[in-house]
Structure 1
């Protein structure tokens, strides 16, 4: 009895001790749980590592065995609209290359194409002011080079002959009257002066007048007024001409012109006296310096360009009229500005975009304002800072993905959540069937279609007879023979015919 009583007491103590421990655990929190551990970041979704627009709510791999990249809430919050994140593998696949925005001197100026032409102020026409004939023609071919004072042609004119004779007679009479009657001397002086003015007006020089007595009667030598080349020869030897006809045309090529057409947007970069340099493939490696000599006062209405004329010295005649080349108009050096390579600019026609590397593997589109184009670089007026890196190769592929990214960010939260829940890469489809997906994919179909129950019978519950209603003729024995003969039973044997 005492043994049983001791066992009961021990059991009670054990139960009490266990209850106290349990109560202590419920009322006193453990030290390990009192300080809550920092919660781990939970991804919003997982994106394709190759930049494809499919996402997954759970970790997975693509067909190449590459893990999908987690996207966290803070990444989405800090990302600019259209920001694209690329894995190192994707960057290498696309061939993405970046360069920093640099500040450098800007060589202002422009280039335009033009053609060498004759200096219009250095052309000369040989056109006698009297009628006559071409006696001899020394300058007898186009392109012939002549020197100043060289005889080009000799002409004969009856009008010239008469004027020469009048001058000779008046000059001889004036010599004889020296020391004689003053009135006669003045009259003869007036006659000689009139004949002299007529000859001078016809193009005879003062030097020729001094030797007029030794000139052939009626003949006159036409000389070159300047050095140059014959550019036009419309007459031949022996031809008759009238006053004002062009016998020869020559051009002085010691200075030539080249006219270029400058777009209206660049007119502000051109001024009179601006240094210019001409180059041509025909004279490779040679440059010819000149300056702007004339700006056309009006623009060409059809091309919206301004004609700019550059004068080029040509002492050795290497620049020939008709030669095509390029004119570079120098600008004011020394101004510096931010520049990016031409390949970094994405120009849609309405705005200019550059893709900026905002972090390692993260690229964001940035709208910029551009200035002048300087060789293979473009001036940036606004939108970029010095040292920022811009994409110079692969930017068009990233821009296409950035546009998709921006479109996704413009979705409503419900649309974005629905898009994030689409597991675009989880469809394990064979290669042959991926091009055309099953429209019923993902639809839960029953294992076997249950037959549709038949419509209820309106006679259900009615007691129906086991057999149909009996036939009223049932039981009647129908004869197997045809209808009985009405004469059957009559004894026909007693009848004798």
Structure 2
């Protein structure tokens, strides 16, 4: 029996398979592989590598370490206070009712400027006494002139001239007393109608930092109505332990840093060191006078002060305070290498006027980042988070 085959049906699957293979090959040639973005340099275990853009943004500065002699400092916490030599609590010289109060909180005033006016019974009595003394003095002066002329002509006895002279001297003394009483009350002799108005003036130039005066209220001669402070200079007071107070001398230079003003340093000099310790705290006060022309230092701000003791420290390696950062609780500096920046744990010693002694971890001749260390720290932490 002869068998026959339908070649059309047998060839169809083979043709379909060949076509599918051909299309797949063509597709692979037509589609290019997806380009991957260039990798950003990241920190390895030893070195932190930055792109040019990151370097420019960080604003890094480096310093070559070299041993150098330095002056030892005392570093303590302190509090900013008003300069008490330029500070005035102003009270009324006598009781009275407040008529006006032009002095406002925060106002800058000049010496002698009127801050308030009072209606005072004591001032009214003093004005009346002055008027009476002035009238008596005029009568005594006229009587003296008339008696002197008569005595010169020997019309009246000499004893009348002596009496008139005594009366005039007494009247002059009473007038001076009345005028001085008005001055002490802050008033001046009234030329017209007797007035009982007294002016409250600022004795110094400065800024009104406290006000306790309202129109209509009764002012007291014991409670301050205004407080005026000249804050162009301030005092920074530090409490020193027994050991430290013996190392600080008046006239020593000092610098201060304030947490509220990061990155700023204020220079001044010690003008007073306590001669005795507080029996309760066992500390002595050192007072530093600091110029404050921009009024950036405010009373009661906290500060850290560095007071030069004058003692020379042997040659040591030191870096600016800003060069040292904390990484995992360890003091660290960044050392500049050819291929990047290496975080290096270090041991630190005493602070020396804005610098800190480095006792181990780096060597002389190495280049350390002194500006931009915090930017490097942030970049390092970011890369570590990315690896996790």
TM-score by length of 2: 0.55
Deviation of residue 308 (structure 1)? Answer: 1.3
In structure 2, the CA distance between the partners of 1:270 and 1:378, relative to structure 1 (3 Å rule), is farther
> Residue 193 in 1 paired to residue 176 in 2?
yes
Q: Residues 103-122 of structure 1 correspond to what in structure 2 (within 5 A)?
A: 104-122=68-86
Give the conservation status (yes or no) of the 8 Å contact 1:133–1:238.
yes
Alignment deviations for residues 318-361 of structure 1 (CA, whole Å, 9 cap, x no partner) = 221122222121243755257799xxxxxxxxxxxxxxxxxxxx
Query: If each structure's strand is expressed as a fraction of its own residues, which one has the higher value?
Result: 2
In structure 2, the CA distance between the partners of 1:331 and 1:173, relative to structure 1 (3 Å rule), is same
Q: Secondary structure at the match of 1:336?
A: strand
> Residue 287 in 1 paired to residue 265 in 2?
yes
Give the conservation status (yes or no) of the 8 Å contact 1:109–1:269.
no
CA distance in 2, matches of 1:215, 1:125: 32
Which residue in 1 is equivalent to 2:343? none
Q: Secondary structure at the match of 1:283?
A: coil
Which residue in 2 is equivalent to 1:36? none
Q: Secondary structure at the match of 1:189?
A: helix
Match of 1:376 among 327, 337, 357: 357
CA distance in 1, matches of 2:258, 2:78: 10
CA distance in 1, matches of 2:91, 2:270: 32
Alignment deviations for residues 52-98 of structure 1 (CA, whole Å, 9 cap, x no partner) = xxxxxxxxxxxxxxxxxxxxxxxxxxxxxxxxxxxxxxxxxxxxxxx
Larger RCO (CA within 8 A; separation ≥ 6): 2
Alignment deviations for residues 160-186 of structure 1 (CA, whole Å, 9 cap, x no partner) = 111112112322442454343234322
CA distance in 2, matches of 1:340, 1:146: 47
Which residue in 1 is equivalent to 2:157? none
Deviation of residue 218 (structure 1)? Answer: 0.5
Asked which structure has the greater CA Rg, the reply is 1
> Residue 167 in 1 paired to residue 150 in 2?
no
Q: Secondary structure at the match of 1:332?
A: strand
Q: Residues 359-374 of structure 1 correspond to what in structure 2 (within 5 A)?
A: none
Q: Secondary structure at the match of 1:269?
A: coil
Structure 1: any 5+ residue segments left out of the alignment? 1-101, 342-370, 380-386, 388-497
Give the conservation status (yes or no) of the 8 Å contact 1:146–1:227.
yes
CA distance in 1, matches of 2:277, 2:198: 47
Which residue in 2 is equivalent to 1:229? 207
Structure 2: any 5+ residue segments left out of the alignment? 1-65, 145-163, 320-348, 365-388
Which residue in 2 is equivalent to 1:266? 244
In structure 2, the CA distance between the partners of 1:287 and 1:199, relative to structure 1 (3 Å rule), is same
